[in-house]
Chains A and B, each alone.
Chain A
Amino acid sequence: MRVAWPLAMLCAAWHATAQDTPLLSGGIAFLTSTNGGNTTYLPIMEPLLAAPIGNRLLIESRAALTESFTPNGNGQPGYNHTHFVGLTYLQGDYIAASHLTLVAGSFLTPFGTYNERLSPVWIGNLQDGPLIASLGTMGTGTGVGGELRGSAISRRKYSIDYVAYFSARSGNEQFNSERSTGGRASLYLPDSRLEVGISYGRLLQGTRENFYGTHVWWEPKGTAFRLRSEFARGHHAQGYWIEADYRTQAFGGLDSWIGRIEPVFRMQQTFRRDTIVSDGLPLVNTQRADFGLDYNLPHNTRILTSYSRQFSSAGDKNIWETGIVYRFLFPTWKGK
């Protein structure tokens, strides 16, 4: 059944026009994380399928296949390994009008920026997501229902985009979600390359609670410097992260060996507002600084390295991470 759906979509899109061949994209990575002297190895593959049908419909899906090798611990030699195979999302997008796209199916919860934009393994500058990644994304990070999204206004000087969603509760193993609603709106100023946005989410089951978020992204013109930040507040906890990455063009451009080096820094803090645990954030106030050094190899390959220091009353810790990621992108079948 899991395979039948994508296959059916591929067949339906068989007669696509020359530029609309369905594509397979995604990332393959081998990641390691050393925490407290224990090293975990994580091979991962995240394939993404996008298949257009006709002029207005797009079916897209992303999956995750991981195998995790962790030390047995307690003085026991060897490693324990677990594997996971699952769909991250599977949705149909119908372009209803110039400024409106209807989305139905299982979709990534549109709260903040990390979940929708930075969570793919081939995009993130650091292996670990932010500590507040679960705030506002309703625990599962996905919703089952529908979205309205699109560009509300697009001018040369500014643009505003929006997304609103409703999700039903689903206990399905592949499409787990909470009953919730929410949305996001962003303003982008192309001249200053500045984006600011706000998010809102409301959990509609169990202990009903509201989530509020805001984000600011800045990518100054003429540079390869990016500043991204996000703040989120829930009923029981709140926090922020701010991430900066930079590639120099001063020594032969971005494709020189020096230009491919990408230092990354991220600072993040979480604050508990009470001791009720419902949002996935640390149980005590936590500060964390991540220092990354990535290298962008040719052929869509990146090497990710980072050192993180985490401070909290539960104990300070060091986290060392390394990884190599390859991003692939090709048509699903050969053409003439």
Chain B
Amino acid sequence: MAPKHLLGFVLSLGAIFIPITDVVQAQKSSDRQTVVAQAPAKTAFTTNKTQPFHSEGERIFAQNCSRCHNAPDGFSPRISGTIVRHMRVRAQLSKHDEEELLRFFNP
């Protein structure tokens, strides 16, 4: 590897580990939470990662769904069952996880 490539690689590693340091510090004093608010026509999601989970479904949502993608701003409760079934296949959730997630979407 040429010296300039090596330099780039070292800088790149630095770019990764600076946020990791921040992350480790943040872990000491915080936990993660996803708060759900039920609106009349739409299930809405806002993300607050500083408080503990309120339910099993909330934990499953935070740990499985948001591992790959950002949570959508909201969706109709009429498709919550479809979303959960789709996530069960895509994220390979167990039946228990599916049930808890559905309960979380429709409290």
CB 8 Å contact bits of A113-124 with B (1 = contact, 0 = none): 000111010110
The 8 closest A-B CB pairs, nearest first, are A19-B81, A161-B92, A222-B30, A154-B94, A151-B94, A20-B81, A98-B95, A246-B19
Residues of A within 8 A of B30 (CB): 222-223
Closest-by-CB residue of B relative to A116 is: B90
Closest-by-CB residue of B relative to A327 is: B72
| Chain B residues in the interface with A (C-beta under 8 A) | 1-2, 5, 8-9, 12, 15-16, 19-20, 22-24, 26-27, 29-32, 46-50, 59, 63, 67-70, 72-73, 75-83, 85-86, 88-90, 92-97, 102, 106
The answer to whether A227 and B16 touch across the interface, beta carbons within 8 angstroms, is yes
Number of interface residues of A (CB under 8 A): 73
CB distance from A23 to the nearest CB of B (A): 4
Residues of B within 8 A of A95 (CB): 85, 88-89
**Could you say which of A52, A249, A267 contacts B50, with CB atoms under 8 Å apart?**
A249
CB 8 Å contact bits of A208-228 with B (1 = contact, 0 = none): 000000000101111111110
Give the distance in Å from the alpha carbon of A20 to the alpha carbon of B73 in the complex: 19
The answer to whether B48 and A253 touch across the interface, beta carbons within 8 angstroms, is yes
The answer to whether A225 and B94 touch across the interface, beta carbons within 8 angstroms, is no
Residues of A within 8 A of B22 (CB): 223, 225, 246, 248
Residues of A within 8 A of B49 (CB): 222-224, 249, 254
Given contacts A195-B67, A222-B32, contact A151 B97 (CB under 8 A): yes
Give the distance in Å from the alpha carbon of A35 to the alpha carbon of B81 in the complex: 44
The answer to whether B12 and A289 touch across the interface, beta carbons within 8 angstroms, is yes
The answer to whether B69 and A123 touch across the interface, beta carbons within 8 angstroms, is yes
The answer to whether B72 and A222 touch across the interface, beta carbons within 8 angstroms, is no
A15 interface residue (CB < 8 Å to B): no
**Could you say which of A16, A52, A117, A220 contacts B27, with CB atoms under 8 Å apart?**
A220
The answer to whether A21 and B70 touch across the interface, beta carbons within 8 angstroms, is no
6 interchain pairs (CB within 8 A)?
A52-B82, A101-B89, A190-B63, A220-B26, A225-B19, A244-B15
The answer to whether B76 and A289 touch across the interface, beta carbons within 8 angstroms, is no
Residues of B within 8 A of A122 (CB): 69
Give the distance in Å from the alpha carbon of A28 to the alpha carbon of B96 in the complex: 34
Residues of A within 8 A of B29 (CB): 222
Residues of B within 8 A of A163 (CB): 92
The answer to whether A221 and B32 touch across the interface, beta carbons within 8 angstroms, is yes
A79 interface residue (CB < 8 Å to B): no
| Chain A residues in the interface with B (C-beta under 8 A) | 16-23, 50-52, 58, 60, 93, 95, 98-99, 101, 103, 116-118, 120, 122-123, 149-151, 154, 159, 161-163, 188, 190, 193, 195, 217, 219-227, 242, 244, 246, 248-249, 253-255, 263, 265, 267, 287, 289, 291, 296, 298-300, 302, 309, 311, 327, 329-331, 335
Give the distance in Å from the alpha carbon of A19 to the alpha carbon of B14 in the complex: 47
Residues of B within 8 A of A217 (CB): 67
The answer to whether B85 and A255 touch across the interface, beta carbons within 8 angstroms, is no
CB distance from B100 to the nearest CB of A (A): 11
**Could you say which of B12, B16, B31, B46 contacts A222, with CB atoms under 8 Å apart?**
B31
Residues of B within 8 A of A296 (CB): 70
Residues of B within 8 A of A22 (CB): 79, 82
Interface centre among B48, B63, B85 (most CB of A within 10 A): B85
Residues of A within 8 A of B31 (CB): 221-222
Give the distance in Å from the alpha carbon of A291 to the alpha carbon of B16 in the complex: 11
Residues of B within 8 A of A159 (CB): 94
The answer to whether B78 and A335 touch across the interface, beta carbons within 8 angstroms, is yes
Closest-by-CB residue of B relative to A122 is: B69
Residues of B within 8 A of A195 (CB): 67
The answer to whether A287 and B5 touch across the interface, beta carbons within 8 angstroms, is yes
Give the distance in Å from the alpha carbon of A103 to the alpha carbon of B48 in the complex: 35
Residues of B within 8 A of A267 (CB): 9, 12
The answer to whether B77 and A19 touch across the interface, beta carbons within 8 angstroms, is yes
The answer to whether A52 and B85 touch across the interface, beta carbons within 8 angstroms, is yes
Given contacts A23-B79, A267-B9, contact A118 B68 (CB under 8 A): yes
